[in-house]
């Protein structure tokens, strides 16, 4: 499947730079770098998930995405939040607003929307869920949009503005967030 990565690079929600296969090993479940080979460091620097001070008017359980910071905050309600690194929409595909999570899926299938297929007719029309799927390990569907908060099979895109509007996360992080979030959770996307 690695030979297909250049063909599929950038689908789902973005274009990405793929590191050479020899640079590091990928965990087949999470699709994250696990071992640097011969002292070579992966292209992307991991953005650690951490609990941070958080001031704001948001109640516990709210998701706040700062597209300029390229961070997602899950508000804990005690003056703190869990901060995750995310990939966000590239110029022309960035957005803001308040929505809710309307659906959740583990290892979701992916069907590119018609708008994406018009831009990229080379994309598959449907892809079963799994480690090679661009939606990664989990997806939370944002109501009233075509967007999702989802994992990624391209960990190097986290911390970048490269998607078609979706909020991308490392698979380990999206699993952590998915377990905390319920359908109906408020999602605030800020520029």
- Which residues are annotated as catalytic? 150, 166
Contact of 24 with 34, CB cutoff 8 Å: yes
Residues 6+ apart with CB under 8 A from 59: 75, 77
Q: Is the dihedral of CA 4, 23, 133, 70 positive or negative?
A: negative
Residue with tokens 């309600």: 77
Task: State both tokens at 163.
Answer: 């998607």
Task: State both tokens at 77.
Answer: 């309600």
Q: Are strands 71-75 and 138-142 parallel, antiparallel or unpaired?
A: unpaired
Among 80, 75, 164, 182, smallest CA distance to 114 is for: 164
Residue 157, helix vs strand vs coil: helix
């Amino acid at each position: 499947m690695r030979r297909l990565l250049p063909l599929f690079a950038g689908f789902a929600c973005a274009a990405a730079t793929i590191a050479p296969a020899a640079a590091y090993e990928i965990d087949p479940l999470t699709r994250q770098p696990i071992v640097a080979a011969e002292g070579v460091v992966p292209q992307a620097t991991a953005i650690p998930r951490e609990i941070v001070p958080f001031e704001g008017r948001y109640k516990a359980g709210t998701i706040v995405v700062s597209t300029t910071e390229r961070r997602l905050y899950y508000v804990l309600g005690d003056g703190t939040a869990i901060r995750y690194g995310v990939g966000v929409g590239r110029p022309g595909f960035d957005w803001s607003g308040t929505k809710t999570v309307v659906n959740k899926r583990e290892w979701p299938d992916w069907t590119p929307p018609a708008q994406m297929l018009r831009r990229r007719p080379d994309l598959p029309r449907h892809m079963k869920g799994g480690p090679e799927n661009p939606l990664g390990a989990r997806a939370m569907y944002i109501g009233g949009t075509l967007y999702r908060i989802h994992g990624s099979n391209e960990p190097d895109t986290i911390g970048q503005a490269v998607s078609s509007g979706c909020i991308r996360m490392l698979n380990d992080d999206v699993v952590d967030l998915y377990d905390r979030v319920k359908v109906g959770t408020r999602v605030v996307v800020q520029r």
